[in-house]
Amino acid sequence: ALEAYEKALICDPSASLAIRKIPLLLARLERSNEAISRLEAYLVDHPEDIEPRMVLAKVFIRNKQLQKAAAQYRKIHTIDPRDISSLLLLSELYQADGKPELARYALEDALEVDSQSYSARVLLARLLTAEKEFDKARAHYREALTINWSASLQLELAEVYLQQKKYDQAIRLYRDLLTRDEFNEEARVALVHVYLLQNKEQLALNELNTLKSITSRPGRVDMTIARLYARKKDYDKAVSILTDLLKKSDNGEIRYMLAILHYQTKQYKKTLIDLQGISRDAEEYEDGIFLQVRALRELHQNEQAIALLESVIAEEKIRNPDMFVLLASLYQLNNQDELGKTTFVRGIQEYPEDDQLLYEYGLFLDYSGEQQQALDIMQKVIQLSPEHAAALNYVGYSWADKKIHLDNALSYIRRAVELKPENGYIRDSLGWVYYRQGRLKEAVKALEQAIKLSPDDPSILDHLGDVYLEIGRSDDALEMYKRAFQLFDKKKDRQRLQEKIKIFLKQEED
């Protein structure tokens, strides 16, 4: 093709088709520089020729020279200020280059030239929506709908109202669409969604029943209706619908949903029957294994749960790291800590780079009283995943509790706070390391923030009590200790707090 166009150009040096096609073919042949040279040379003699300049912009884009492409589009607009196509292309280029503000300027310039440009209105409306300038976006959507109404664009406008939680306005738009076309499934599904957002389950159910009568996929609608009945806690109706569906189509999704409903209604044997019917190649099979384990535990059949997981883990195509974690926890519940430990070792051999599996192993070791080994494992987690907030918190808190490496502990915990600023347990660790460093004002501030985030955590209350006591706020300390005592579950923790309160009260009397 390139050879043919070059011959045509030899015969007629002004052949416009050849002039356009040759650079594009050169670009496709990864000869972009040659294409650019040809076009630039041509434009030196024909600077007002728009079409080759458009081609040059495309070659620059193919060559990832976006700024040069943008310069060509701007030049085209200068040559023909009444033609906005170059501005529309410029806006798309800026969007692709992550420069929404410049894209916006290009579209606004286009609308100054042609206020009735449908494309410019829609592109600007979408851009403003992405920038969360919803009121301005809605205005442009409405202008675009006036220029050229379409159901899809009205759905976009309704979605903007949803993002603003202006549900009534969205409903009006959906109702208008259904008045125009009662078979518009997308509008009816969207209407169901809005009613559910407003917790208007009965209205949503009414729309679903209407949708079922017109859709080509009534089974999918029945699934949604079943979910809605489940949401309303009308489990019998949900189960009835799913049971009927199962007779027509035996698939994993229906069985898994039935199993969930039976589990929620404490019919654990039925749960197992549902799940055992899910085929191994079904998407729900893996989740079904985890739910089977939960059901077996509710039936106090831990040995069967262990056997199930062992059989699944033996199959390479099915197993995953979470299964090893769950199996180890079952062994731990059975007071078989060594088997739990070996399960983690097996899992880590299979998934040595899985940071979450290692983290869970560290927690297991900590619970088993092997704190130093747990600390070593957590440091491996951080090596694998330096942004693992929970592991950073564990190591930092452990060091602070032992009064060692306090500067490093503070560094680790500060990083964890940056990663998860709303986590009360990490804020507690920050307060505790400040306390260990003797920075009591900062400790109080961090622990009070931790209490706001996790108001019912007895360990945080206990820590805050210690710091209050240290700075002389005795009454506040006693209040924290009493609250912690009420919230601790373990007998040894309650005894420790009770003893602390007794000593405190005795000192107050003395």
The pLDDT tens digits for 452-477 are: 999 999 999 999 999 999 999 999 99
- Is residue 17's pLDDT more than 70? no
Least reliable range by pLDDT among 175-179, 212-216, 269-273: 212-216
Give how far Cα 8 sits from Cα of 14, 134, 388, 503, Å: 10, 53, 64, 102
**Residue at a domain's end among 167, 191, 216:** 216
Section 355-362 average pLDDT? 98
pLDDT in the model for residue 292? 98
Q: What is the mean pLDDT of the chain?
A: 93
Is residue 242 situated within a structural domain? no
Which residue range is the domain that position 212 belongs to? Answer: 155-216
Share of the chain above pLDDT 70, in %: 94
Least reliable range by pLDDT among 13-22, 82-91, 349-358, 411-420: 13-22
**Three-state SS sequence of 275-327:** HHCCCCCCCCHHHHHHHHHHHHHHCCCHHHHHHHHHHHHCCCCCCCHHHHHHH
Cα separation of 392 and 397, whole Å? 8
Tell me: do 203 and 165 sit in the same domain: yes
Higher pLDDT, 152 or 50: 152
- Is residue 13's pLDDT more than 70? no
**What pLDDT digit, counting tens, does each position of 239-254 carry?**
999 999 999 989 999 9
Q: What is the CATH number of the domain that holds 184?
A: 1.25.40.10
88-116 CB burial, b ≥16 within 10 A, e <16: bbbbbbbbeeebeebbbebbebbbeeeee
Tell me: do 430 and 469 sit in the same domain: no
Question: Quick one: tokens of 187?
Answer: 């509008």
pLDDT in the model for residue 341? 97
**Residue at a domain's end among 169, 193, 216:** 216
pLDDT in the model for residue 7? 54
Q: What is this structure's pTM? A: 0.72
Structural domain tally of the chain? 3
- Is residue 301's pLDDT more than 90? yes
Tell me: do 432 and 472 sit in the same domain: no
Per-residue pLDDT band for 137 (boundaries 50, 70, 90) equals very high
pLDDT in the model for residue 507? 80
pLDDT in the model for residue 475? 93
Residue 155 CB contacts under 8 Å (≥ 6 apart), including other chains: 173, 177, 186, 187, 190
- Is residue 25's pLDDT more than 70? no
Is residue 298 situated within a structural domain? no
Section 430-453 average pLDDT? 98
Tell me: do 431 and 392 sit in the same domain: yes
- Whether residue 231 contacts residue 201, with contact meaning beta carbons closer than 8 Å, is answered with yes
